[in-house]
Amino acid sequence: MPATTLPHGPVTRELSLRAVITGTLLGILLTPSNVYAGLKIGWSFNMSIIALLVGYAIWQGLAKRSTEQLPWTLHESNINQTVASAAASIISGGLVAPIPAYTLLTGNQLDAIPMIAWVFSVSFLGIWIAWYLRPSLLNDQALKFPEGMATLETLVHIYNHGREAATRLKVLLSAALLSGLVKWVDTFLWAFPRWSPSAQLERLTFTADPSLLLVGFGGIIGIRVGLTLLLGALLAWGGLGPWLLAQNLVTLPAAAKARNLPRWWSGCSGRA
């Protein structure tokens, strides 16, 4: 990868109040989206690039319309995406993995206060551990973090080529509007057909879901990882699941879908 070149000119502001507030507000808006994606496809995103583009568009747009508005600096953009990403990553405290699994397996739901206490405790523990891991991980320039490198490249690129940043933002907003429209139609007007090879596999939630979220996720992870996930779904829900039922090792009520199969394995996607 070629060396990244930062834009010319001095950077006068970094940890500003508006950068922190912008990151906080974007994090509040993006966290539910991250929870939905995690529950839908079992995968979450750090939302850095989205927060970066949206924050840049808002503040650079205001700066162009007002001579009194200070320009939105590169380092302020970095603070903004860091705060928003930290907020969106709160789901790693169990909001899309053990807590939903506990509800599916037992039928019980955690009350708001215990859940808030749990998420706060996990977050505080993560910050405490990260403080001691920083010298060995973050300060080592030889270590490359894929999401961080992608965010850095995007950050530098939009400040070197502002017009292209506007184009990317338009694409992002267009994709969001299209996805929202498709979901609205599927939910309120006409439910898109979900195809399954057989009634038994449909009970095991092994269906083809016409979701643009899955299409976008496939575009991000690439063909090799996508085929690997497909193979895992075929083996787990297309092979092992029906075998467990055929051997009477797992029984399902007549009107129920697969809810106790996760006792046998974890981490497998329920959709092909």
Instruction: Confirm whether 116 is domain-assigned.
Output: yes
Same domain, 183 and 258: no
| Domain C-terminal end among 189, 218, 246 | 189
CA–CA dist 242, 162 (Å, integer):
54
Instruction: Confirm whether 216 is domain-assigned.
Output: yes
- Report percent pLDDT > 90 for the chain: 10
Same domain, 65 and 117: yes
What is the per-residue pLDDT across 178-191, written as a single tens digit (0 to 9) for each? 988 998 999 899 98
What is the per-residue pLDDT across 62-82, written as a single tens digit (0 to 9) for each? 888 877 778 888 889 999 999
If one compares 131 and 14, the residue with the highest pLDDT of the two is 131
**How would residue 255 be classed by pLDDT, with cut points 50, 70 and 90?**
low
Same domain, 147 and 241: no
Expressed as residue numbers, the domain containing 31 is 17-189
**How would residue 135 be classed by pLDDT, with cut points 50, 70 and 90?**
confident
Same domain, 123 and 257: no
Same domain, 151 and 225: no
Instruction: Confirm whether 23 is domain-assigned.
Output: yes
The predicted pLDDT at position 18 comes to: 92
Same domain, 184 and 205: no
- Provide the CB-side half-sphere exposure for 22 (13 A, CA): 25
Instruction: Confirm whether 4 is domain-assigned.
Output: no
Neighbours of 206 (CB within 10 A): 23
Same domain, 136 and 97: yes
CA–CA dist 206, 116 (Å, integer):
33
Instruction: Confirm whether 272 is domain-assigned.
Output: no
| Domain C-terminal end among 189, 224, 241 | 189
Same domain, 113 and 248: no
CA–CA dist 11, 228 (Å, integer):
44
Same domain, 93 and 178: yes
* Count of structural domains within the chain: 2
What is the per-residue pLDDT across 39-62, written as a single tens digit (0 to 9) for each? 887 777 778 888 988 898 888 888
Q: Is residue 220 packed enough to be buried (19+ CB in 10 Å), middle (13-18) or exposed (0-12)? A: exposed
Same domain, 185 and 204: no
Name the average pLDDT for the chain. 79
| Domain C-terminal end among 165, 189, 213 | 189
Same domain, 178 and 211: no
Same domain, 178 and 203: no
